[in-house]
Structure 1
Amino acid sequence: MRLFGGRDRGDAPTRPAAGGVPSGADTVPPGLRIASAWSWRLLVVGLALAALLFLVAQLRIIVIPLMVAALLTALMIPLVEWLQRHRWPRGLAVAVAVVLLLAAVTALFWLAVSQIRGGYPDLQRRALASYDGLRQLLLESPLHLTERDISRYTGAVVDAIQQDSQQILSGALSVGSSLGHLLVGMLLTIFATIFLLYDGARIWRWIVHIFPRRARQAVDGSGRAGWVTLGNFVRVQVLVAAIDAVGIGLGAFILGLFYGGFPLVVPIAVLVFLGSFIPVVGAVTTGAIAVLVALIALGPIPAVIMLGIVLLVQQIEGHVLQPFIMGSAVKVHPLAVVLAVAGGSIVAGIPGALFAVPVVAFLNVAITTIATGAWRTNPRPRDVSEVPTA
């Protein structure tokens, strides 16, 4: 069918209605027919996506741990393959990889908690001193504020912070509505990661065989291409997060050398590392905590310097790391990354922002592989460990 008017040679001639008067369908312009054909198809696709998102939201206690497990599998599969190449049994290689992961996460949180416990009294003392100084400054300022005015404004700020904290906590705990759901999600993530690392090849073959026989090769090839991109994203994101954490943490430590010590340097670096897994906004948000700590503990001038350090690290990430490292690994335009993070956060909060970019990167490569026919030339893996596991 042609786009604007006319008909192809194979089209059947249109028969006029009785009495030589054209029917209603014959009077519809070809452009409107094409638009209506596209409209109902797009409507069906939109309804299918809405139903899928609703199902994912209802099963989020299962879906989110499985997605975390897929990312962890993409991160650890090179270690498992390396151990296998050195004649380690696959089961033992998977066990070693999982134990190392759990040990690293436990050590990271233990270090952060111990530093917070040790540095909190000093931070509290400095915060009270800063508050007293600010209160005295406001009382003596030309604003002519009273103790009652300062107490009222302080209470409003505290209420706003508490409300925002509750919203952030509820978003972070969106895996479940209680601590029990959170523990179930963590256990499910661990077990799913173990099974994906150990038996991912057979799981992927089972998924491929769900599709019709004629579509299996395309699904297999596009899945392999998407899995390679997903693995590259996870490993590069770990590198970018580590660079952000080291940059901001080192900047805070050096700043503290000139102002009597910067409190909670290690916990801030850990928060920056974890927050950097949410592209674009994660490191900025956690870096703002470093600026707030500098303002409370050291004063306004060190806070401005800390803000400059955070912005400098973000500029290095945005203009060096993201275009050259992340861009080549994920192959997604920066605008698409920003829109994906924004859309994911609107739909699913913090988990949506975390998984938006890897999902978009996987779908981008998989769909491109199918559309270009590159799946016909994708070489089959020589070892089952190279088969995608998600």
Structure 2
Amino acid sequence: MSSLSPRWLQTVSELALRVVFVAGFLILLGLAIDRLRLIFLPLLAALILSAALLPAKHLLTRRGVNNAVAAIAVVISGLAVLGVIGYFTITTLTSEFADLEVDIEAGFTEVLQSIGDWAGVSDEQVDEAIDDVLESARGNADTIAGGVFSGVRIAAELLAGIILLAVLTFLLVKDAESMQRSIARRLGPDRRRNFLVLSSGLFDTLGKYFRGVTIVAFMDALLIGVGLVIIGIPFALPLAVLTFFGAFIPVLGAVLAGLAAFLIALATEGVTAALIVGGLVLAVQQIEGNVMAPFILGRSISLHPMLVILAVATGGALWGIMGAFVAVPLTAIAVSLLDFYTGTGRYASRKRARRAAIGPGPEE
């Protein structure tokens, strides 16, 4: 840039170059992650799962159990629990999916017909709109199912991902601390301190998030399931299972699970029961948001609802259901990195505490 150019033009040009560079980097990173999603998604899931399982391993090692044996026991137990939950979920939903789908469609139809009557729209127009919406929904469901669950190649990729998840989880649970120390030894004193603070904080955040969300999801499912049984709504168990997994997709998951319960109640038991179910769902969400989540999750992940919705939508668009599950933890990692490098949030005090605890590192 010529020295004769106005200073403001130089500043704007430099800023534009930085924006282009950052945008290009993010685009290339997104493309690389999309290409390597069969590796990236199991790795991220393994990081979350291992962070949640590490306290259990530490409990065993403090009682004198060998590190490798403790890691094997913890990982096998954790994966076994996930396997049982997965098997129970699949068998429960598949056994009643056809009837569940019919009732949801019936409830959706009744809602649209009521809106049509209120708006003065003819029944023929309402029926045509319903058919278009349901056809589009079925088409999207078929596309998702075809892209995720069908075909020998997809089955092989899924099996490979599960094996990779198990292996990575075991290695991280067994050797997380030694990996951290090994990397830290290769860094200079300042970078060593930063790395220790950042890596410990990220693992702590992921572990608290997964353990906390699992507890909150279980409580949500229990309250919704018991409430539906008391009200007398059919499919209480599948809806409770849907609520459990919906809790792992913040905001959107709860909305979809609650909407499904409302539509089924409307189709099977009428308007009064549907309104009671709607009140039940709202009450459970209030208990979760104001009692359970602050008490159990604390400030492990503090994200604005708009950011959560955008993250879940982006993750779902890129990687389907699995992307929606990992979107919030991945976003939390990015926000934690930003907090760390700007010296805000939890990391200012953690950095000072770590520096005071370990003192100046030895020169390499």
TM-score band, normalised by the shorter chain? 0.7 to 0.9
**Structure 1 segments unaligned to the other structure (5+ residues):** 1-23, 257-261, 383-390
Q: 1:58 aligns with which of 6, 19, 35?
A: 35
The answer to whether structure 1 residue 42 and structure 2 residue 13 are counterparts is no
Match of 1:316 among 282, 287, 291: 287
2:42–2:165 contact (8 Å) kept in structure 1: yes
User: Judging changes above 3 Å, is the alpha-carbon distance between structure 1 residues 195 and 241 closer, same or farther for their aligned structure 2 residues?
Assistant: same
SS in 2 for 1:25: coil
SS in 1 for 2:14: helix
Query: In structure 2, do the counterparts of structure 1 residues 227 and 272 end up closer, same or farther at CA, with 3 Å as the change threshold?
Result: same
Q: Percent identity?
A: 30
SS at match of 1:309: helix
Aligned match of 1:192: 168
Confirm whether residue 283 of structure 1 aligns to residue 260 of structure 2: no
What is the total number of aligned residue pairs between the two structures? 344
Q: In structure 1, how many angstroms separate the alpha carbons of the residues matched to 2:217 and 2:15?
A: 43
Q: What is aligned with 2:362? A: none
Q: Which secondary structure does the structure 2 equivalent of 1:290 belong to? A: helix
Whole-Å separation in 2 of the counterparts to 1:278 and 1:224: 25
Q: Note if 1:71 corresponds to 2:42.
A: no
CA-CA distance at 1:144 after TM superposition: 9.0
Alpha carbons 1:222, 1:367 under 8 Å: kept:
no
Matched with 1:368 is 339
Which amino acid is 2:80 matched to?
Answer: A
SS of residue matched to 2:300: helix
Give yes or no for contact 1:284–1:310 (8 Å, CA) kept in 2: no
Cα shift readout 1:100-147 (whole Å, capped 9, x = no counterpart) = 2233223324444554577679x58x959x79xx8xx99xx999979x
Q: Does 1:218 align with 2:194?
A: yes
Structure 1 distance, partners of 2:313, 2:97, is: 34
State the AA in 2 paired with 1:165: A
Amino acid at match of 2:68: G
Q: Which has the higher helix share?
A: 2
Q: Distance in 2 between matches of 1:144 and 1:225?
A: 59
Is residue 245 from structure 1 mapped to residue 221 from structure 2 by the alignment? yes
* 2:193 and 2:354 in contact (8 A); partners too: no
Distance 1:178 1:76 in 2: 29
Q: Determine the structure 2 residue equivalent to 1:255.
A: 231
- 1:388 is aligned to none
What RMSD in Å do the two structures reach over aligned CA positions?
3.9
Question: What's the counterpart of residue 96 of structure 1?
Answer: 73
1:208–1:220 contact (8 Å) kept in structure 2: yes
Number of the residue aligned with 1:10: none
Structure 1 position 165 matched with structure 2 position 141: yes
C-alpha displacement of 1:76: 0.9
Q: Which amino acid aligns with 1:358?
A: P
TM score, norm. by length of structure 2: 0.78
Distance 1:92 1:104 in 2: 18
Note the C-alpha offset of 1:73.
0.6
Distance in 1, Cα, partners of 2:89 & 2:325 = 22
Q: Which residue of 1 aligns with 2:274?
A: 303
Q: Matched residues in 2 for 1:355 and 1:120: separation?
A: 25
Tell me if the contact between 1:74 and 1:230 (Cα under 8 Å) persists in the aligned partners.
yes
Residue 178 of structure 2 is aligned with which of 175, 192, 202?
202
Partner of 2:155: 179
Q: Distance in 2 between matches of 1:181 and 1:66?
A: 14
Distance 1:150 1:342, change over 3 A: closer
Structure 1 residue 361 displacement after superposition? 2.2
Instruction: Tell me the TM-score normalized by structure 1.
Output: 0.74
- Unpaired runs of at least 5, structure 2: 359-364
Report the CA distance between 1:166 and its aligned residue.
2.2
Deviations 1:264-308 (A, max 9, x none): 322221221112111111122122222233234333432232222
Task: State the distance in 1 between where 2:169 and 2:331 align.
Answer: 21
Q: Distance in 1 between matches of 2:20 and 2:65?
A: 52
What's 1:107 paired with? 84
Compared CA separation, residues 347 and 108, structure 1 to 2 (3 A) = closer
User: Which deviations, in whole Å up to 9, do the C-alpha atoms of 1:159-211 show, x marking residues without a partner?
Assistant: 2331132244367669x961221121111111111111112233334555676
Matching residue's letter, 1:34: T
Conserved? CA contact 2:71–2:170, under 8 Å = yes
* CA 1:314–1:144: 2 relative to 1, 3 Å: closer
Q: Which has the larger radius of gyration?
A: 1
CA positional deviation for 1:229: 1.7
Higher mean C-alpha displacement, 327-336 vs 353-362? 327-336
* Counterparts of 2:159 and 2:297, CA distance in 1: 32
Question: Take 1:34 and 1:328, find their aligned partners in 2: how far apart are those partners?
Answer: 38
The residue type paired with residue 288 of structure 2 is E
